[in-house]
Amino acid sequence: MVLKTHMKIIILPLIFSICISTAPNVKGIHFSLEDDLNIYPSGDGNIDNPYHITNITQLQEIRKDLSAHYVLVNNINANATSSWNWDEKRKTPNGFEPIGIDIDLVTYGHQGEKFTGTLNGHGFRIYNLYSNYSDEAYYTTQIGLFGYIGNGGLVSNLIIQDVNIKGIQNIGGIAGFADNCNIINCSLTGNISGNFSIGGIVGKNNNSLISNCYVNGNILGRGSLIGGIIGNNVMGKISDCTMIGNVSGSNKVGGIVGSNSDSINNCYATVNIKSEKKYGGIVGVNACNFHTYGVRNSFYCINDTTINGRHSIYPYGIFKNQFNKWLNDEKNLNIDDFLLKKSNEEFYEVSNVNDLKNLLPFAAIDGYRFKQTKDIDLSGLIDFYIPIFLSEEYDGNHFSISNVTINKSNNNNIGLFGFIGVNSTIKNVNCLNCNILGYSHVGGVNGVNYGSVLYCISTGNVVGNSLVGGLVGNNLGEVSISYSACKVSGIGWGAGGLIGCNENGNINNCYAIGNVSSDSSVGGLVGKNAYNSKILNSYSIGSVNGTRIIGGLIGNSYTSKEINCFWDKQASVLNESNGGIGKTTYEMTLKKTYTTVHWDFDNIWSINEGKSYPYFIWDDNDNIININQNDNDFDGIQNADDAFPDDPSASIDTDGDHMPDKWNPGMNQSDSTSDPPLELDPNPDDPDNIPPDDDGNETPSNGKSKTWIWASGIAAVVIVVAVAVVFLFHKKKDSPEEEGDLGRVEAKPNEERNK
């Protein structure tokens, strides 16, 4: 398949002649002509007989008839504009007054309107045009050669050389604002500057066609929406345009367009971009739907373009060998020139780093299928990723892509595959030892998914602000039979061991084992599960830390379902989750935990009973999570150091009375497996289990002090002794005092004695 150019580029006439303008150059005089002065030497303003423009005076006076038709018949020297329209307040000239504006120019009392006529430059040039309406007092919102071109307006075949235009908002070399009009085959060199919505050709474009235009200059903004051709493209078509030079701003800065909401075709840029956030070689931010509009067959050269001082990959960047061939072949690229496809195969093979680089321009085109044939190590290739994947399929074939390192802390949609389209599938990809940093929609394998992610693995570290996941940052499609072992760190909302946010998406038979931390909506598997999403037969075991809205499995869930899903209460150190069922580590190693709710252990899952968590049948032994066999109750404490080696609820018993000092993290008495259940020790340091009273004396459970017990004991002894003394006393009293007295005892019959 060949990338075809829909419109061949028109070579702009760049051979200039010199023409001296007859316009006055008098400092301090506001330029104007009487409305009834016929200044045009020929033509009547009709489309078949347009007015002829021969000098800068006549060009300025187009503002007197904004619906007429005009044509340049020679080059125009605009040097005089540098002294026009003196501003007494600023002590500087304002210069050329934009043709057609839709607000009052307060100083001049002039009500402008949009230009709806035509101007054909016929390849002639206007050079040294000066216009400066950058004072906040004017706040004119459309500044350029034309302030406002409206319905049916057309500017074509015009060259503006060495221009200097300054304003506040909606600033462009040809037009500040283009609305339902056409600007075709125009070029510009020079400087355009302002605050917001600034472009080399048009500041703001609404439903207009900008085609075959060229800019070589400096487009400098202090705010957002800054582009080499258009600052803000709102439902406008851009084709066959070129930008060479410098583009800078604070936000939404791009080589062709700052913010794009429609189509860009067959354009290229070789630029130096500077911006604090949301920037790129072609567009700063693509606000449109990737599947309906967007950028097609448009590229910037990675080797010749710097973005914040670095030669780096962003959407629509390609390397120099492909870029030069694309230009030389009239903006056509043939995939067969770069990737191998065997005659009996449907896939283009990817076997090394160079193949991954060559895949870049074709990944954003539907219909292609790729299959990896070897392990690929990206060590030393910083910031390499595939920003947009709209092709049919990438099959990693269970080979690895290792040591992926991406550092784009100000950018969204960051992962090995940044954006996956609705009809695209990524499968069997092993993204190992990744270190990925992005701003939002950040994941190990994928930043944002509208398609399918199947049989994939990620290990390493994933860091971002919000919507951060070990495998996928934001899922709006399907993720199945995949897992992540990545450590996930965020600082905003939406962080999960597998997926940061599951939004109208489905997750089936997946798991996550990495630790997760962020501020809010933090979960071991998914940070936020929302908008009728569904999670089926999945689990997580990582620790979860957050400030608010956290859960062992799901951090935040609403209008969604979590079916037959589990998390390890001990490993996550959490008893709560907004979805799923919490289990002890031991229970997580039992097959019956899962078969009871119909997990498929014939085709998908396997387990080492009592020894491991569930794992995929297709996974190798290196990735099986085995439980330490010297820890009977799986509480993380070795048997030798565990006072209760068969009970996961507790592990410490300082005084050895078989009563735990405290519960293990995430545990309580209801988790005790002993019979009867363990009870906390009221006095962990005393084996007699006698806690102190309010006076510092030890107190048993009946509330009596130890002193009272000793006193009671002594009293009991005294009583016993006293009783014994009394008994002996009475016995002695009843006995004969002398042996001789026995003879005087009266003998009694035997019967009586026996009584």
Average pLDDT of span 523-538? 96
| CB atoms closer than 10 angstroms to residue 642 | 22
Residue 747 pLDDT exceeds 60: no
Distance CA 586, CA 751 (A): 82
Q: Looking at the domain assignment, is residue 725 inside a domain?
A: no
Q: In terms of Cα–Cα distance, which of 178, 149, 165 is closest to 219?
A: 165
If you ran DSSP here, which 8-state letter would residue 261 be given? S
Q: Looking at the domain assignment, is residue 683 inside a domain?
A: yes
Residues above pLDDT 70, as percent of the chain: 81
Asked if 225 and 294 sit in the same domain, the reply is yes
CATH label of the domain that carries residue 595: 2.160.20.110
Report pLDDT for 502: 97
pLDDT (tens digit, 9 = 90+) per residue, 712-730? 556 565 566 666 655 555 5
Tokens 């990723």 label which residue?
385
Tokens 């423009």 label which residue?
53
Q: Looking at the domain assignment, is residue 563 inside a domain?
A: yes
Q: In terms of Cα–Cα distance, which of 179, 160, 45 is closest to 114?
A: 179
Q: Which residue has the higher pLDDT, 639 or 437?
A: 437
Distance CA 9, CA 1 (A): 21
Q: How far is C-alpha 743 from the geometric centre of its chain's CA atoms?
A: 121
H or E stretch including 726?
helix 706-733
Report pLDDT for 5: 40
User: How many domains, in total, are found in the chain?
Assistant: 4
Q: Looking at the domain assignment, is residue 728 inside a domain?
A: no
pLDDT (tens digit, 9 = 90+) per residue, 241-292? 999 999 999 999 999 999 999 999 999 999 999 999 899 999 999 876 555 5
Distance CA 379, CA 435 (A): 11
Report pLDDT for 528: 96
Asked if residues 571 and 543 have their Cβ atoms less than 8 Å apart, the reply is: yes
Report pLDDT for 110: 43
| Amino acid code (one letter) for 517 | S
Question: What 3-state class would DSSP assign to 322?
Answer: helix
- How many CA atoms lie less than 13 Å away from 597 in the CB half-sphere? 14
Distance CA 673, CA 369 (A): 54
pTM recorded for the entire structure: 0.79
Q: Helices 353-363 & 320-328, crossing angle to 10 degrees?
A: 40
Residue 33 pLDDT exceeds 50: no
Task: State which of 283, 309, 333 marks the end of a domain.
Answer: 333
Tokens 């398609």 label which residue?
451
Residue 16 pLDDT exceeds 80: no
| CB atoms closer than 10 angstroms to residue 272 | 17
Q: Looking at the domain assignment, is residue 167 inside a domain?
A: yes
Beta bridge partners of 449: 420, 475
Asked if 326 and 411 sit in the same domain, the reply is no
| CB atoms closer than 10 angstroms to residue 556 | 23
Average pLDDT of span 435-461? 97
Asked if 181 and 317 sit in the same domain, the reply is yes
Distance CA 546, CA 567 (A): 17
Residue 62 pLDDT exceeds 50: yes
Q: Report residue 473's pLDDT band, with 50, 70 and 90 as the boundaries.
A: very high
pLDDT (tens digit, 9 = 90+) per residue, 534-590? 999 999 999 999 999 999 999 999 888 999 999 999 999 999 999 999 999 999 999
Q: In terms of Cα–Cα distance, which of 193, 269, 265, 277 is closest to 231?
A: 193
Asked if 576 and 609 sit in the same domain, the reply is yes
Asked if 487 and 553 sit in the same domain, the reply is yes
pLDDT (tens digit, 9 = 90+) per residue, 614-656? 999 988 655 566 666 567 676 778 787 888 888 888 889 888 8
| Amino acid code (one letter) for 65 | D
Distance CA 371, CA 395 (A): 5
| 230-234 sheet: strands from edge to edge | 146-149, 175-179, 202-206, 230-234, 257-260, 283-286
Report pLDDT for 640: 72
Residue 106 pLDDT exceeds 50: no
Q: Tell me what the pLDDT averaged over the chain comes to.
A: 85
Asked if 615 and 682 sit in the same domain, the reply is no
Contacts of 744 (CB under 8 A, 6+ apart): none
Report pLDDT for 672: 87
| Amino acid code (one letter) for 297 | N
Asked if 275 and 423 sit in the same domain, the reply is no
Q: In terms of Cα–Cα distance, which of 268, 266, 234 is closest to 254?
A: 268
Asked if residues 229 and 241 have their Cβ atoms less than 8 Å apart, the reply is: yes
Asked if 700 and 681 sit in the same domain, the reply is no
Q: Report residue 670's pLDDT band, with 50, 70 and 90 as the boundaries.
A: confident
Asked if 473 and 427 sit in the same domain, the reply is yes
Q: In terms of Cα–Cα distance, which of 662, 705, 706, 668 is closest to 685?
A: 662
Task: State which of 279, 312, 333 marks the end of a domain.
Answer: 333
> Residue 680: which domain range?
633-689
Q: Looking at the domain assignment, is residue 503 inside a domain?
A: yes
pLDDT (tens digit, 9 = 90+) per residue, 370-428? 999 999 999 989 999 999 999 999 999 999 999 999 999 989 999 999 999 999 999 99
Distance CA 666, CA 547 (A): 17
Contacts of 483 (CB under 8 A, 6+ apart): 457, 471, 498, 510, 511, 512, 513, 616
Asked if 196 and 66 sit in the same domain, the reply is yes
Q: Which range is least confidently modeled, 23-37, 104-118, 136-150, 203-217?
A: 23-37
pLDDT (tens digit, 9 = 90+) per residue, 278-324? 999 999 998 765 555 589 999 999 999 999 999 999 999 999 999 99
* Structure token digits, residue 534: 């569904």
Q: In terms of Cα–Cα distance, which of 328, 329, 305 is closest to 318?
A: 305
What is each CA distance from 437 to 408, 512, 747, in whole angstroms? Answer: 6, 19, 118
Distance between start and end Cα atoms, the chain: 131
Q: Looking at the domain assignment, is residue 654 inside a domain?
A: yes
Concatenate the DSSP letters of all residues of 379-434 into one string: TT-TT--EEEE-SSEEE-TT-EEE--EEE-TT-EEESSEEEE-TT-EEES-EEEEE
Contacts of 494 (CB under 8 A, 6+ apart): 466, 467, 468, 474, 500, 501, 518, 521, 527, 528, 555
Average pLDDT of span 654-681? 87
Contacts of 447 (CB under 8 A, 6+ apart): 412, 413, 414, 415, 417, 418, 419, 438, 441, 472, 473, 474
Asked if 515 and 608 sit in the same domain, the reply is yes
**Main-chain dihedrals φ then ψ at residue 740, nearest 5 degrees:** -65, -25
Q: Looking at the domain assignment, is residue 406 inside a domain?
A: yes
Asked if 134 and 248 sit in the same domain, the reply is yes
